[in-house]
Amino acid sequence: MKKTSTRLADGRELIYYDLRDDAVRDAVDRRPLDPAGPERSEIRRDRLLGDAVAVASHRQARTYHPPADECPLCPSREGRMSEVPDATYDVAVFENRFPSLAGDSGRCEVVCFTEDHDASFADLTEEQAGLVLQAWTDRTAELGRLPAVTQVFCFENRGAEIGVTLGHPHGQIYGYSFVTPRTALMLRSLAAHRDDTGRNLFDDVVADELSDGRRVVLDTDHWVAFVPYAAHWPYELHLYPKRRVPDLLALDETARAEFPRIYLELLRRFDRIFDAEAGDTPAGEGAGPVRRPPTPYISAWHQAPFGDLGEYRVDRDDFALHLELFTIRRTSGKLKFLAGSESGMSVFINDVPPEAAAMRLREVASE
């Protein structure tokens, strides 16, 4: 991998990650942009729940569903400059022009997985997916060194149903200035389980799923993917390295090498979940399965926060890196909406039994 760091016209950082060591990235951003900032988001605490809410009014002006020929994430070309000045790229990462977190609140970056506007992550080769993993790892290290950043969150939103406003295949990285509420819950559960049993909660969850087997979707040398026992979403997968590590930086080379194949297989299965569902009628004899639109999903890396976790009575190494992948689609043409119970009381109601979801995800394996 070759890493090249440069600056956009308004001063924001742009980093190219290339597969070839001889790649040259010297294009200059010639857009007439005002200097970035001084956008500042405000973090407010809910005194009753302890939740953190970022107030970022400047994001109202962000780019919204541009036509494909005006995509700000495609490579630049004559007559139309984008956020990526070069005419080609493998993976590009840059500071978000409309960040949810800025200044003392943290940092937000955009990760362009490929220059191909019409692709998705599932279309990448294993080599390309491996490069994205290297970029995620490098950004976790770099953001973790910033004084304002406590936790690094790499994620992808895919699909208009999720709320994606740019169709180009991309993800984001948030550097939070605090431990997120979801992670704080995990850390408290981790400490309570250790107090009760003397064991690590993450290790026990993985061991229990492997022992039960009904919800396991993939079990390889270095990774295991399963639908959790109490899945919140219709189709939800958790992917763990078999050797517990706190973050992407600590993954060993064997797990790192195997990840692209495993992750691409899971994404491709997600796109096949709703093909030829019961009741579908093919167009004619020999027409094959009914093809559905790409499955909307959220893919989220959970990593240990940086710094002292004494407040939660755990060590950083007690946390287990894992990826959570889920879709809001519950069946063909129907979405799972967060209505009264979920939004009002945080009690999820899942229409798809986790065992049935796991069975479906095993059924759609690549041949």
Return the active site residues: 170
Give the CA distances from residue 105 to residues 76, 102, 143, 146, in Å, rounded to whole numbers and listed in that order. Answer: 31, 5, 13, 11
Distance CA 301, CA 350 (A): 22
Pair 260, 130: CB distance under 8 Å: yes
Strands 297-302 and 106-112: unpaired
Q: Which residues contact 330 (CB under 8 A, 6 or more apart)?
A: 234, 336, 351, 352
Q: Which residues of 190-212 are buried (b: 16+ CB within 10 A; e: fewer)?
A: bbebeeeeeebbbeebbeebeee
Is the preceding omega at residue 38 within 30 degrees of 0, hence cis? Answer: yes
Distance CA 116, CA 196 (A): 51
Residue 261 in tokens: 């194949």
Distance CA 51, CA 49 (A): 5
List beta partners, residue 150: none
Pair 339, 351: CB distance under 8 Å: no
Pair 306, 158: CB distance under 8 Å: no
Distance CA 84, CA 74 (A): 7
Pair 6, 84: CB distance under 8 Å: no
The SS3 call for residue 272 is helix
